[in-house]
Amino acid sequence: MASFLCDLIRIRSVCGINPERFIAQRICVECQSLKLKYELISAPNQEDRPNVIVTAGNGRSKFLFVGHMDTVNVEDETQWSFPPYAGMIDDKTQRLIGRGSCDNKGGIVCALYTLYLLQQVIDEQNLNVSIQLACVVDEESGACSSIGVRYLLDRKLISGSGAIYVYPGTNVTIGHRGLLRLEINVEGENVHTGSIEWNSKMKGANASTALARILIALEDHAWSNDKDPSFPDLTLTVTPGTIFNGGSFASVVPSNASAMIDIRLMPSTSVDDILKKIEDIMENIINERNEFYRKISLSSTSSARLSASITIKNQLPAATID
């Protein structure tokens, strides 16, 4: 199992950067050695990103394990105390370490070998049941990807009377926090930074700095401390600016800037209230920046140069089971 997990860690599968095809192939090789049935399922035009469905038994599926093959990125490998993709056992702690060792390749390894043991029980007792493990793609993009677990569920390719998402650890959570992922887009006015118009502020509005003020205000805001006993030590979490894009050239005032906001929801969290607060913060800052440009240009009649909008990119409600 340790050797198998080391192999999975060494296969880079960063969501949106490295296609999951290679890690899927390695899982299939392990299935062959364990004599487990498997199937590769890809969404249309996504052949490089196949899901792997592994099955123990022959009857109707009664239980489901789910794990994801993709990982988040490593921004700067030099900041790590060990090579993140080496797939190695630390001499001091005897822990198997590397990107994806816990989230979520370690869970896939444990679940696959669980199916191997269950297959033996099913054979010995001649049971008419089956248990599935779905190794899915694109989870890190927002949990319910249309080419990953959502694709399999919608086509009834996986099923069960219950399911476990196979994260390693001793903290068993019945349910999941919700997700709200937003993109804030600010429109400004571009002009050459060396022009008279920008020097006098008669023209131009910096979308990047306006968006930066919005992000800081969102980070500084005292969000409600929503809690739930199903998620010990966790609360509503708002993380502004996980991705930021702005400007097109070094000597041009940015006319467009966008940023992603990642929000982890609790069952009691009101999405409408969250969106309303973000909209209020955006409106206040955009109004302040437009007033700044009016004052500095000494033009009381100039039209607003900045505007902002929100787009919901992913939304998944929180859920608990009593």
Residue 144's pLDDT is 77
CB 108 within 8 A of CB 69: yes
What's the rounded Cα separation, in Å, for the pair 191 and 285?
21
Per-residue model confidence (pLDDT) at position 301: 59
Residue 299: what pLDDT? 63
Regarding whether 135 and 196 lie in a shared domain, the answer is no
**Do 207 and 94 share a structural domain?**
no
Which domain-ending residue is among 119, 146, 165? 165
pLDDT single digits (tens) 259-295: 999 999 999 999 999 999 999 999 999 999 999 999 8
pLDDT of 101 = 93
Residue 179 contacts residue 315 (beta carbons within 8 Å): yes
Query: Is 170 among the domain residues?
Result: no
| 207 domain residue, yes or no | yes
Cα–Cα distances in angstroms (integers) from residue 21 to residues 18, 100, 104, 131, 228, in the given order = 9, 16, 16, 23, 38
Q: Are residues 103 and 211 in the same domain?
A: no
In this structure, what token pair is assigned to residue 212? 């930066």
User: Is residue 246 included in any domain, yes or no?
Assistant: yes
Higher pLDDT, 301 or 297: 297
**Do residues 6 and 129 both lie within one domain?**
yes
Higher pLDDT, 28 or 321: 28
Quick one: which H or E segment has residue 217?
helix 207-220
**CATH number where 73 lies:** 3.40.630.10
Taking residues 187-192, report their average pLDDT: 96
Q: Determine the Cα–Cα distance for residues 7 and 33; give it in Å rounded to an integer.
A: 15
Tell me, yes or no, whether 147 and 220 share the same domain.
no
Query: Confidence class of residue 69 from pLDDT cuts 50, 70 and 90?
Result: very high
Mean of the per-residue pLDDT values of the chain: 93
Q: Per-residue pLDDT for 300 more than 60?
A: no
pLDDT at 304: 87
Range of the domain at 93: 2-165
Q: Are residues 133 and 190 in the same domain?
A: no
Task: Tell me the three state secondary structure of residue 278.
Answer: helix
For a pLDDT cut of 90, what percent of the chain falls above it? 77
Task: Look at residue 39 and tell me if it is in a domain.
Answer: yes
pLDDT at 109: 97
CA 172 to chain centre: 21
In this structure, what token pair is assigned to residue 48? 């490089």
CATH of residue 240's domain is 3.30.70.360
- Could you tell me if 101 and 200 lie in one domain? no
Domain count, the chain: 2
Could you tell me which of 91, 72, 70, 71 has the C-alpha nearest to residue 81? 91
> What pLDDT was estimated at residue 238?
97
Whether 33 shows a pLDDT value over 90: the answer reads: yes
* Length of the chain, in residues: 322
**Cα distance between residue 222 and residue 219, in whole Å:** 8
At 141 the pLDDT is: 87
CA nearest neighbour of 258 among 180, 181, 179 = 181
Mean pLDDT across 87-115: 93
Shared-domain flag, residues 121 and 200: no
Q: Which pLDDT does position 172 carry in this prediction? A: 73
> Does a structural domain hold residue 305?
yes
Final residue of a structural domain among 165, 200, 215: 165
Indicate whether 219 belongs to any domain. Answer: yes
pLDDT tens string 105-161: 999 999 999 999 999 999 999 999 999 999 999 999 877 789 999 999 999 999 888
Query: How confident is the model at residue 14, as a pLDDT?
Result: 96
Q: Do 157 and 204 reside in the same domain of the chain?
A: no
pLDDT > 70: what percent of the chain? 98
Which comes out higher in pLDDT, residue 232 or 169? 232
The model's pTM is 0.78
62 & 208 share domain: no
In the block, residue with structure tokens 């095809």: 21
Asked whether residue 235 is assigned to any structural domain, the reply reads: yes
Same domain? 312 vs 233: yes
Which among 105, 130, 165 is the end of a domain? 165
Say yes or no: 159 and 255 in one domain: no
- 2-31 pLDDT, tens digit per residue, is 999 999 999 999 999 999 999 999 999 999
